[in-house]
Structure 1
Amino acid sequence: MNPPSDKLRSGGAASKPGRKLGPIADSVGSAHRAWLVPLRSGFLASGLTISELHQRTGWAKSKISELLRGTGLYPRWEITNDLLLELSIPTWPMRRLWVSAALEAQKKQEWIDRSVGEPMPVTTTPGLPPIEHQAFVELQFAAYRRYAGVFLKRREVADRAVAEAFDILWLRWEEALSSSDVVRFAWSVFRISVMVRTPHIDGCPTLGTSAFDTFALRQAQTAEERFAQVEESSAVFKTMSRLPEQQLDVMVLRHLLGMAPSAVADVLGVPIASVRSDERHAKHVLENVLGTDSDPEGNAL
């Protein structure tokens, strides 16, 4: 395969390190950012410079810099893959994220297929995530999927948010293990994946229509009762959306998904006492704002 015109021959004298890596461009979309952030983290952790990456991969420094900042045209998989191999970052989860971001960037399927279909260097990077990561996914998948379904109306969008979160976690697994709490680290990654896809009003996330399925609406007998229940539920949802992040998460997991406090603690990576405290404060807000003694399930607070 002939190298692209912007891929340079390596072998010259070492270049002096250039300027520090600039920030990610504001125009970068959520799917693109999902794989760009871990790639930048891997680059910064490697201690390499853009000049050194240029010498090791043969790609022009300007192209490497554009890729790492998200400027210019959406990068082809070939250059992305070369950087991944040099930085020892798993390619399989990154490839799925790259494809998702390419679609977000309005790239046609033909362009994507042609890009990822090019011959690539053989890599020793395992095609499967670490055993610990696989076990974590099995443990948390159901709760993550149900939580995503509360905020995201379309099933395929919720599934994509969950899959993206676990792919990012695979890429950042070593970082997760070195954090103070793997479960809490994973939840923060997953929550971002859900929230970037969730419609917001005045900076607050809106709960999807699927959330109404968990309410007493299903038990309403007449059209009048159903209308009244929808109106009440909408008021509760609006108030809940304004709660602090962890209080909102606790209320969704506890009262919309019916999880026990211990299970909520296991999903969020926080003590049970913290779950009970957040629930208590959230209920207090609902009582004061709505002037009601009902929780989202219609039970006494």
Structure 2
Amino acid sequence: MRAPLQLPLEFEAFYLGHQEFFHDYAEAQLGTRRAAEEAIHQAFREILAGWEQLLQEGNLEQRAWAVVRRIVGRRLEAEGRPPAFVINGPIALALRAARDKLKVMQSVSGLYEAIAELPPRQFDVMVLRYILGYPPPRIAWFMGLTERTVDYHCRKAKERLRVQLGFPGPEAKEGKGQ
């Protein structure tokens, strides 16, 4: 019988402080607790293998998070599917319901219909931001994007809606004041 592995005390503390969040994140992505446990076990083994180097380099949380995201992402890629929350999570269900509702709603300006016809990422960002009221950092987390990318999709969606609805652009406002 082998003696139990003695883990560095700092690693044990890091594990205890982060494992629940990592498991929740992986479960939201992979869809089952079992798959999440397997992925996070693999992630913590990799983190432990490079523990001393991680401590010396700094940014421990960022580097550990990168390991978790990479392992979960590779697993999704190997399975050839999007994250579970995109398929069947409460946000995905709300987005599908919002899209369906917007398609049937009538509006004088055609705004609801125009929103319903946006490309998927632009639609998701607009609904999450302006209909459900989520702040950009939370949208970024849900969608696996950066805040800048969320802002980009918002800007592109607004521009697409402006053109589609025939509203004047920023250049029309500038010309008025002269």
Please report the TM-score for the alignment, with normalisation by the length of structure 2: 0.54
Q: Which residue of 1 aligns with 2:14?
A: 136
Q: Secondary structure at the match of 2:58?
A: coil
1:288 is matched with which residue: 156, 168, 176?
A: 156
Q: Distance in 1 between matches of 2:11 and 2:72?
A: 20
Deviation at 1:141, TM superposition (A): 1.9
2:56 to 178, 190, 195: 178
Cα shift readout 1:70-127 (whole Å, capped 9, x = no counterpart): xxxxxxxxxxxxxxxxxxxxxxxxxxxxxxxxxxxxxxxxxxxxxxxxx7xx66xx62
**1:193 and 2:77 correspond:** no
RMSD: 4.5
Unmatched runs of 5 consecutive residues or more in structure 1: 1-118, 241-250, 259-274, 293-301
Q: Equivalents in 2 of 1:141, 1:282: separation in Å? A: 27
Q: Map 1:148-297; keep pairs closer than 5 Å.
A: 148-199=26-77, 206-209=82-85, 212-215=88-91, 217=93, 225=101, 235-236=120-121, 254-255=138-139, 278-288=146-156, 291=160
Q: Hey, what's the Cα distance between the residues in 1 that align with 2:157 and 2:12?
A: 43
Q: Which has the higher helix share?
A: 2
Q: Name the amino acid aligned to 2:64.
A: A
Q: Deviations over 1:245-299 (max 9, x none)?
A: xxxxxx7x723768xxxxxxxxxxxxxxxx9xx414422224415846xxxxxxx
Paired-residue identity, %: 21
SS in 2 for 1:129: coil
Contact 1:150-1:211 at 8 Å conserved across structures: no
Question: How many angstroms does 1:209 deviate by?
Answer: 4.1
Give the length in aligned residue pairs: 137
Distance in 2 between residues matched to 1:128 and 1:178, nearest whole Å: 20
Report if aligned partners of 1:146, 1:257 keep a CA contact under 8 Å in 2: no
Contact 2:31 2:84 in 1 (8 A): yes
CA drift of 1:161 comes to: 0.6
Pair 1:208–1:166, CA change in 2 (3 A): same
Q: Which runs of 5+ in 2 are unaligned?
A: 105-115, 126-135, 162-178
Q: Give yes or no for contact 1:148–1:162 (8 Å, CA) kept in 2.
A: yes
The 1-side partners of 2:83 and 2:139 are apart by: 13
